[in-house]
Amino acid sequence: MSDILAVNAVDVTKRYGALTAVDGISMAVAQGEVYGVLGPNGAGKTTFLRMLFGLIRPDGGTLQVLGRTWQRDGTRALDGVAGFLESPRFYPYLSGRVNLELLAGLDGGDAPTRIDRVLDTVDLTGRDRDKVGGYSFGMRQRLGVAAALLREPRLLVLDEPANGLDPAGIRDMRALVGQLAASGLTVLLSSHDMGEVEQICDNVTIMRTGTVVYHGTIATLREQAPEPAHRLSTSDDQSALALAAGRPGLTVLALDGALAVRGSLDAVDAYLSAVVRHGLALRALSLQEAPLQSLFFMLTETSPETVPGSLDRSPTGARP
């Protein structure tokens, strides 16, 4: 892959009046990489991606996309870039196919010859002549992916592509994004769901109210994640709670009519065996929160001091 970064943001800032939506964000995405931008609602993910597409102007910092900038290159800064922001929008009074034909016209080149193939890729072939106004949310989302693929992008930017989809839709969208990522495209994926990015992304930037709270690989993040928390229900929770006392590496708390059990898998195994040996019946045991998810909440909800100290949270330190 080329040396030119797919995305190179340095100290990018965007203010809406008194509110700083993006506050000095730096980010470097190499070509061929699958990169996640994670953050809760209002973290500034969409605002950052809007600047990347030139839809809004940064108040400070520099932003290069595939080596081009908006100030210098104008619309050419979008050559090789495609994707969508929030839910994709089309003209509801036109069919999916006509919408794609219109967009292909605005792309120029041989984009119009790709319409059938991209419709096929997102499984919309049978419904392409229906008006978009009659499409389900999931169909519009898939049409958004098709519209992006029309441009034969080198960098595909997807802003919460699974947002608002039903479970089957989420599964299909994740599979599609996974396949696109595997095909060698550079993918920049924003999400508020750790589970969505941890499977397919190599690197992530975690944002919180406009600032970066973590930059780095998923692998590093995983090493720093707290131990998994389980929800346990037994025939006698009081006795089970008493059995936990003094066990090393294990915390058990009474919580909402059940027990919250946190510890390494070995410690949890030993504790459960003891509970059963004591004559108590296990009624339910479920993973309450995936470890990475717990870390994500810690990073984005709690004060910075409670975050594991070894995590590199400086934007410049995490990436070469």
Partner 1 sequence: MTATTSARIREVRRPGAANRRPGTPTALRWELRKLAAQARARYTLLGSLLAPVLLVLVLDGQQRPPKDNIYGRHIHDSGYAMPLLVLGFAAQWVFPLLTALVAGDIFASEDQHGTWKTVLTRSVSRTQIFWAKTVASVLFALSVLLLLAASTITASSLIVGRQSLVGLTGQLLPSHAALPLVLASWATAIAPLIGFTAVAVLLSVVSRNPAVGVVGPVVIGLVMQLAGSLGGLDAVRHLLLTTPFESWHGLLTEDRFSGPLIDGLLVSAGWTVVCLAVAYAVLRRRDITGG
Ligand X SMILES: Nc1ncnc2c1ncn2[C@@H]1O[C@H](COP(=O)(O)OP(=O)(O)OP(=O)(O)O)[C@@H](O)[C@H]1O
Distance CA 144, CA 151 (A): 12
Distance CA 296, CA 307 (A): 10
Distance CA 169, CA 32 (A): 26
* 102, interface contact from ligand X, Mg ion, partner 1, none, CB < 5-8 Å by kind: partner 1
Q: Within positions 26 to 65, which residues make up the interface with Mg ion, using CB under 5 A? A: 46
Query: Strand pairing partners for 187?
Result: 34, 156
In which residue are the tokens 């096929």 written? 120
- Beta strands (DSSP E) in 105-228 are 155-159, 186-191, 203-208, 211-217
* 43, interface contact from partner 1, Mg ion, ligand X, none, CB < 5-8 Å by kind: ligand X
Among 10, 32, 125, 152, indicate the residue that binds partner 1 (CB under 8 A): 152
- Interaction pattern, residues 153-192, with partner 1; x per rule: CB under 8 A: -------------------x--xx--xx-xxxx-------
* 180, interface contact from Mg ion, partner 1, ligand X, none, CB < 5-8 Å by kind: partner 1
* 192, interface contact from Mg ion, ligand X, partner 1, none, CB < 5-8 Å by kind: ligand X
What is the full DSSP assignment across 249-288? TEEEEEETTEEEEEE-HHHHHHHHHHHHHTTPPEEEEEEE
Shortest distance (Å) from residue 99 CB to partner 1:
8
- Interaction pattern, residues 62-81, with partner 1; x per rule: CB under 8 A: ------------xx--xx-x
* 191 contributes a contact to Mg ion by CB under 5 A: no
The tokens for 293 are: 């998810």
Phi and psi at residue 122, in whole multiples of 5°? -100, 10
Shortest distance (Å) from residue 35 CB to partner 1:
18
* Residue (170 or 292) nearer to partner 1, CB: 170
Q: Please, what sign has the CA dihedral across residues 295, 296, 299, 302?
A: negative
Q: For binding to partner 1 (CB under 8 A), which residues are involved?
A: 50, 53-57, 74-75, 78-79, 81-86, 88-94, 98, 102-103, 105-111, 114, 117-118, 120-123, 147, 149, 151-152, 172, 175-176, 179-180, 182-185
